Amino acid sequence: MKSKRKIIITIAVCLGLAALAYFAWLFPFYQFESNDFETSLQKLMSWEYIKTLVPLFIIAGLAAAGIVLVIILRKILAKNSRKKTRFADVRTSIPKGRAPKQKPALFMAVRWIIMIAFAFIMIWGGLIFGLKMSSMSIPVLSCPWNTEQMTESSCYYLAHLNELFELPWYSIIAFVVSTFGFTILLGRAICGFLCPMGLIQDIMDRIRRRSKAEGIKMNEKMYGALTPIKWCLVIIFIGLCFAGGNFCNFCPAVATSPILAGISTSLYVSGFIMVLVLMGGFFKRRAFCTVCPLGTIMGFFHRFSLFRIKKDCQSCTECGACYEACPMGIKTIYTERGKTDVTTESCIMCGECIKCCPEDNALSMTFAGKKIYTSSRKKIMSGYAPDKNGREEK
Ligand code: SF4
Ligand code: SF4
Ligand code: SF4
C-alpha cells in the first residue's frame, strides 16, 4: 500500500515538473538586453542598474514574506498540536544565552573567501575586467545568459546538447576539456567552493542561524522522497532540449546572476522557483543542492576527484555529529566502519562534518593525497573555553 502511494506521488511529482517545464517553454518571459560587451564600472553605478535590480528585490521580498509566514505557521502548529510534526517541531522560545562558539577554522574562512570571490568573477568579472577566459567553461549554476561572465558557466550547453554540436569543433573541444577537466579534477568541491547558487544558499543558512530561527531537520525518509525529483530534474536538464524545450526557462539561476550583472529580465517561473530556493535554503542548508541536476551530474565523476573525505574508523566513537552536520544528509560518513575513503557522489566538500567531529583525525579532507583539513577535539573544546571570569560557557 505504502509503495503504491510512493509510486503515485513520484508520478504526480514528475508530471508536475513536466507541466512546469512545458509551461515555462511556452512562456519563457525573458527580455534580455542586447549586450554591448562594454567593460565599465560606470554601468554598476548608474540609475539604470538599480532599476534592473527591481526583480531581485521582489524575489527577496517574497522570500522574506514566505519565511516569516512559515515561522508563524510552525509556531501555531507547535502550540496547537501536542503531537508535533517534523514541520512544526520548533521550540516556541529560543533559549537565552550564547551557544558555544568554536574558534573559526581556517578552512572555513578560505572556503567563504573563495566562494565570494568566484561569485564576484562569475557575475561582475567580465564587466570589470573584460571577458578574459570566456571560452573556458566551469560547471556551476551561474546563468550564462549573463554575458558578462569572465569565464563561462557550462550549464547552458549541458542543458542544450543539441546546440553544443552546432558549434565549431574548437569550441566543442574547449567546452569538453574545460567542463570535464574541472569536474574530474575537483568533483563536487565545485559545489562547495565555486558555485554562486551554493553561496546564496549558504548565506540564507547564515541568516537563519543569526536570526536564531529553527531549521527543518530532514531524515532519511525525506531525503529518499527527494530522490525521484532529483533524477527527474536530471532527465529534464539533459533531455528537454531534444523534446523542444529549454531548462533555462525555469532554472532559478536565471533570476539572479543576469539581474545582478545589470541585464534586464522579467521574472516569472524562474523568479518563483528562486523564491522557493531562498526559502528552502533558509530552513534547510543547501536544500536546492540536494536536487540540483548539475550537481547530480558532477557526482557521477566523484571517484576521480582529487578531493577526498577520509575516515579513521578506529578514532571514530560513533557519536553521529558528522551526520547531523552534513547538509547533504550523507549517512555513510557516520555508519562506515571499514573503509578509509568515505567520499560519496553527494559530498560537496563543505567540511561541516570535519568541523563538528569531536575526535582527533577521525575525519579529514585530502587534496591529491595531502590532508588539508582534519577534525580536532581541541577545536571543538575551544567553544567551551572558560570566559574571562573563569566560568565555562553553556
Ligand atoms: S548542487 Fe547545483 S546549485 Fe548546488 S552548488 Fe552544486 S551546481 Fe550549484
Ligand atoms: S560529507 Fe562532510 S564534506 Fe561532504 S557534504 Fe557532508 S558535511 Fe560536507
Ligand atoms: S563525528 Fe567523528 S567521531 Fe562522531 S561519528 Fe562522525 S566520524 Fe565518528
Nearest residue to 191 (alpha-carbon basis) of 330, 101, 301, 294:
294
Asked whether the beta carbons of 342 and 307 are under 8 A apart, the reply is: no
Q: Is residue 294 part of a domain?
A: yes
Together in a domain, 226 and 373: no
Euclidean distance between CA atoms 261 and 125, whole angstroms:
9
Helix (H, G, I), strand (E, B) or coil at 158: helix
pLDDT digits (tens, 9 = 90+) for 200-246: 999 999 999 999 888 888 888 889 889 988 999 999 899 888 887 78
Do 293 and 311 fall within a single domain?
A: no
316 and 274 in a single domain? The answer is no
Mean residue pLDDT of the chain comes to 82
Q: Is 115 in the pocket of ligand 1 (CB under 6 A)?
A: no
What CATH number is attached to the domain comprising 320?
A: 3.30.70
For residues 291 and 367, state if they share a domain. Answer: no
DSSP code for 125: I
3-state helix, strand, coil in the chain (%, to 5): 55, 5, 40
Does residue 80 fall inside a structural domain?
A: yes
Q: What is the average per-residue pLDDT within 98-114?
A: 78
Claim to verify: residue 196 and residue 154 sit in the same structural domain: yes
Task: Indicate whether 326 and 254 sit together in one domain.
Answer: no
- What whole-number distance in Å separates Cα of residue 25 and Cα of residue 153? 21
Domain contains 242: yes
Q: pTM of this prediction? A: 0.84
Residue 185 CB-half CA count within 13 A: 8
Domain boundary among 299, 322, 341: 299
Give me the sheet containing 307-311, strands edge to edge: 307-311, 363-367, 370-374
307 DSSP β-pair partners: 367
CA distance 226 to 14: 11
Please give the pLDDT value at position 30. 47
Ligand that lies nearest to the alpha carbon of residue 330, given by its number in the listed order: 2
Segment 29-49 mean pLDDT: 61
Q: Does a structural domain hold residue 4?
A: no
265: CA distance to ligand 2 center in Å? 35
Q: Whose CA is nearest to atom 4 of ligand 1?
A: 289
Ligand nearest to the CA of 223: 2
Range of the domain at 270: 9-31+41-84+100-299
Give yes or no for residue 324 CB within 6 A of ligand 3. no
**Contact (Cβ atoms closer than 8 angstroms) between residue 298 and residue 326:** no
Cα(294)–Cα(289) distance, rounded to whole angstroms? Answer: 9
Cα-flanking dihedrals φ and ψ of residue 340, to 5°?
-90, -40
Domain check: are 218 and 317 in the same one? no
pLDDT-wise least confident of 74-78, 102-106, 291-295? 102-106
Residues 155 and 279 in one domain: yes
Q: Which of 36-40, 92-96, 182-186, 209-213 is least confident?
A: 92-96
Separation of alpha carbons 354 and 372, rounded Å: 11
Same domain? For 162 and 251 the reply is yes
**Number of helices and strands (H, E) in the chain?**
18, 5
pLDDT given for residue 220 in this prediction: 87
Q: Are residues 360 and 295 in the same domain?
A: no
Query: Grid coordinates representing 183?
Result: 569536474
Comparing 357 with 130, which gets the higher pLDDT?
357
Determine, yes or no, domain membership for 49: yes
Position 196 scores a pLDDT of 93
What are the grid coordinates assigned to 36, written together?
A: 554591448
Question: Any idea which of 86-90, 306-310, 365-369 has the lowest mean pLDDT?
Answer: 86-90
Q: Is 101 exposed, middle or buried (0-12, 13-18, 19+ CB in 10 A)?
A: exposed
Q: Residue 21's pLDDT is what?
A: 60
Residue 15 lies in a domain: yes
- Grid cell at residue 236: 529534464
Cα separations (Å) of 216 from 61, 199, 333?
21, 19, 21
Kindly report the protein residue whose alpha carbon is nearest to atom 4 of ligand 2. Answer: 347
Distance 8 CA to ligand 3 centre (A): 38
Q: Is 237 near ligand 3, meaning CB less than 6 Å away?
A: no
Return the residue matching grid coordinates 573563569. Answer: 390
Our count of domains for the chain comes to 2
- Domain presence at residue 93: no
> What are the φ and ψ backbone dihedral angles of 369, each rounded to 5 degrees?
85, -10
Does one domain contain both 310 and 295?
no
Give 248's contacts (C-beta < 8 A, 6+ positions apart). Answer: 143, 145, 156, 159, 254, 270
Of 299, 320, 350, which residue sits at a domain end? 299
Examine the fold and report which residue of 299, 314, 343 is the final residue of a domain before the chain moves on.
Answer: 299
Q: What is the pLDDT of residues 146-200, one digit of tens each?
A: 777 777 888 888 988 888 888 888 888 888 998 999 999 899 999 999 999 999 9
292 and 313: one domain? Answer: no
Contact indicator for 187, 305 with CB cutoff of 8 Å: yes
Q: Where are the alpha helices (DSSP H) in the chain?
A: 2-26, 47-52, 54-80, 106-120, 126-129, 155-158, 161-164, 169-186, 189-193, 196-211, 220-239, 257-260, 269-283, 293-299, 321-325, 332-335, 352-356, 377-381
Distances (CA, A) of 131 to 122, 136, 190, 325: 10, 11, 21, 39
Decide: 334 in ligand 3 pocket, CB within 6 A. yes
Q: Which of 251, 268, 363 minimizes the C-alpha distance to 316?
A: 363
Q: Could you give the CA distance from residue 274 to residue 63 in angstroms, rounded to a whole number?
A: 8
Within-domain flag for 146: yes
